[in-house]
Amino acid sequence: MSRIAFCFGVFFAVQFASALRADMMADSPVKFPEQGALPAKYPPDTPSRDGSAPEKDYFLFSTPERSLGQIATIQAEMPKGQFKAPAQDWSHLSRTRRILTEGGELRLLAIGDSIVNDTMRSGWVAKLSEAYPKARIQARVYVRGGGGCQHYKEEQRIAKFVVPWKPDLVFIGGISQKDIGSIREVLHQLRAALPDVEVLLATGTFGTADPRSAEELAKAAHSGTGVYGEQLRQLATDERCAYLEMTSPWAEYICSAGVHPHLFYRDCVHANEYGEQILSRIIMEFFKP
């Protein structure tokens, strides 16, 4: 039996329901600082130089922030794991696919919270450019700590800070979405101004839920394995968006790696460089040629 088959069976058939397994801090080999996060082993080697704070607590900047060389170094060093590739679905990404495969400029914007920030800092956009050399990909990130569509739908933020850039593809994810209705409202605001914009909706990863506990993970408000995942998938269907269930492959990778989850964290909520690359690999499986 392969490691991923073993992991998949353990993850979904066995309930790690004890308090010890449900509390990652209880058996963690990592000591996080009381304030802040562990220092980065690999600070981004091509950091954004055009960042701005359009208002208090909100940040807007370009990505990918990491070179292909640095990404390769991190991926070679990180604990090895496996996951079942998420389903590819280009049915609502036809324009994106055409630009990627035939050439042209693709303007990508990611909206969300610090988890979306980590996802984009992984440098997956550099990997996307490598996979589709005919396309000229420009990418930006619009985030706030704890930020979800319940924030972005207010104060004309979509009209002020997203629409003027005219993205072709908008990525909406993270662990801070408070309700499906707010995501729907952001979609409507986007399409009222940009009727051709395509959207990828993604479920959450990281946070404090233990990926070794299927029961705990399903209860997480951002999880693709629970109620939120079902609701987000239905929203994607209703609003003609692509859907990416990131929770399961993320948990499968960590489980199959055979190490404590915190070896992929920089604090008790957020990814370190290794954790970021799990997210990069998941997204690239979705977008692979």
pLDDT of 189-232, one tens digit each? 999 999 999 999 999 999 999 999 999 999 999 999 999 999 99
Residue 143, domain member (yes or no) = yes
Strands (E), the chain: 52-55, 58-63, 104-112, 135-144, 169-172, 198-202, 242-244
Of 150, 144, 101, 113, nearest to 288 (Cα)? 101
Tell whether 9 is covered by a domain. yes
C-beta separation of 161 from 133 below 8 A: no
Establish if 37 belongs to a structural domain: no
Terminal alpha carbon distance of the chain: 29
Query: What residues make up the domain containing 199?
Result: 3-17+49-287
Whole-model pTM: value is 0.92
Q: 60 and 161 in contact (C-beta within 8 Å)?
A: yes
CA–CA gap between residue 51 and residue 63 (Å, rounded): 10
| Partner residues linked to 202 by β-bridges | 244
- 56 in any annotated domain: yes
Question: Which H helix or E strand runs over 214?
Answer: helix 214-219
Among candidate residues 203, 60, 85, 210, the one with its CA nearest the CA of residue 144: 60
CATH code: domain of residue 126: 3.40.50.1110
Whether 208 maps to a domain, the answer reads yes
Q: Which is nearest to 246 in space by CA: 92, 93, 87?
A: 87
Assigned domain for 27 exists: no
Confidence tier at 109 by pLDDT (50, 70, 90): very high
Give me the pLDDT at residue 23, please: 82
The pLDDT > 70 percentage for the chain reads 92
List, as one string, the DSSP characters of 121-167.
Answer: HTTHHHHHHHH-TTEEEEEEEEEETT--HHHHTSTTHIIIIIGGG--
The packing angle between helices 227-239 and 180-193, to 10°, is: 20
Average pLDDT of 236-243? 98
What is the SS3 assignment for 171?
strand
Query: Whole-angstrom Cα distance, residue 283 to residue 276?
Result: 11
pLDDT digits 0-9 by tens, 129-158? 999 999 999 999 999 999 999 999 999 999
Q: How many domains does the chain have?
A: 1
The token pair that represents 281 in the structure block: 């690999």
Average pLDDT over residues 50-70: 97
Structural contact between residues 150 and 65, judged by C-beta atoms closer than 8 angstroms: no
Is 43 a member of any domain? no
Residue 40 located in a structural domain:
no
> pLDDT value at position 6?
33
